[in-house]
Amino acid sequence: MEALAQLSDSEILKELARRNEKKEANKKAYNDLKEEHIPQLFSRLEQWSEDGEAIKAEIYQGLKQLIELKFETYSAKTNQKSHTFSASNGQSITIGYHVTAGYDDTVYMGVAKVKNFINSLIKDEDTAKLVKQLNNLLKPDKKGDLDPKRIMELKQITKEYKDFELLEGVEIIENAYSPRRSAWFIQASFQNNVGIDQHLPLSIASMNFPKGFDLSFLIKEENQ
């Protein structure tokens, strides 16, 4: 600002035009660089994703025979959600699936019946605290689903009351329970040179950067 104050009106206009021209040139360079780099980098990630899919299928297919042989050897099939196989060198691979709690839309009818009864219990400060505790058992998680463990706890409590609507509500909630598989996973671990198990990073988020990789360009504000 001090430098501009020393210039004449015409010189100020020229200086502002120069700065604006430089800014526009920088914008163009920035956009050109994006158009050049992003498709190239995206292609690398796309290839990594495709390779990951192929490797995942290969791991599952490779362990299929082991699982079938295990069932045959021990003459039993189980409903276990994962299978772990370990070698004598300390390397281990686990495959399986995660299950998340889920309910069909009839659950809301059950919740309404239970809440009607719970709220009818409020008579004083003490019963209000009890009602709050019971309502917490019906509190959904971040995904909007009820916690099956809390429902089991609620069921145990409701046995103390001989109320048809309450019992019916809990039964509706239980019947609405519909768990679903959320993801098929692979985990791998190995023993380091002192015999401690360490997980092999298999996701981009869990992978370390190469030693000495400089990330300061992302955290400049924190370093100032």
In this prediction, residue 183 carries a pLDDT of 83
> Would the pLDDT of 223 be above 60?
no
In this prediction, residue 110 carries a pLDDT of 94
As given in the structure block, the two tokens for residue 182 are 């959320």
In this prediction, residue 15 carries a pLDDT of 77
Q: Which of 103-107, 150-154, 203-207 is predicted with the least confidence, judged by mean pLDDT?
A: 203-207
With beta carbons less than 8 A apart as the criterion, state whether 101 and 148 touch.
yes
Span 153-165, pLDDT tens digits: 989 888 888 788 8
> Would the pLDDT of 187 be above 90?
yes
Closest CA to 49 of 207, 200, 186, 204: 204
Closest CA to 137 of 123, 124, 156: 156
Whole-prediction pTM: 0.65
Residue partners of 194: CB distance under 8 A and separation at least 6: none
The DSSP call for residue 212 is T
